[in-house]
Amino acid sequence: MSGPSGSGKTSIIRRLLDRVDIVFSVSATTRPPRPGETQGVDYDFVTTEEFEEMIERDDLLEWAIYNGNHYGTPSDPVDLEISAGRGVLLDIEIDGARQVRAHRPDALMIFVAPPSTKVLEQRLRSRGDTSSQDIASRLKIAESQLEEAPTLFDHIVVNEALEHAIDDVANLIIGSG
């Protein structure tokens, strides 16, 4: 799953995990933890050196630099879950989604879109954990993502009302097998 920061993707994912039998892929990132985030649960928080070692060892299914920080999906846990017959949910930005599309053409690719960029900006501001400068750059990234989404993703879910968006995504996942 991809979607602009502030699209509500994280809230959807949290609730989905209670409803659908699917495992969340914990990404590695060089971004510092936000208040309330837990090492190994929300992310594996690593140094830039550690991240570069993962790239060199070819440990990552995909990785990207987003807003100045590295983010990547460790391959082994994903492969293990899939070989055990479970589905894996990746919360990744669009460069990573492009790589997943290339490596795993059978992946179900869902993009969560905000109802409008105005709503997106309001959501980012009300979150209170992101600086104005960060909000501006995240909005810029969001605009280019929204342009590319229709060609890269199988489904676009507009998150106007959270409950409906969760239902839509759950049905897509269940329907995919």
In angstroms, what is the minimal distance from the CB of 77 to ligand 5GP? 11
Q: Which structure tokens are listed for 110?
A: 């869902």
Cβ nearer to ligand 5GP, comparing 45 with 172 = 45
The answer to whether the beta carbons of residues 1 and 13 sit under 8 Å apart is yes
In angstroms, what is the minimal distance from the CB of 86 to ligand 5GP? 18
The size of the chain, in residues, is 177
Say how far apart CA 79 and CA 72 lie, in whole Å.
15
The answer to whether the beta carbons of residues 94 and 156 sit under 8 Å apart is no
Cβ nearer to ligand 5GP, comparing 135 with 166 = 135
Contacts with ligand 5GP, residue ranges (CB under 6 A): 5, 27, 31, 62-64, 66, 71-73, 91-93, 95-96
In angstroms, what is the minimal distance from the CB of 5 to ligand 5GP? 5
Cβ nearer to ligand 5GP, comparing 8 with 96 = 96
Helix (H) or strand (E) segment spanning residue 123: helix 117-127
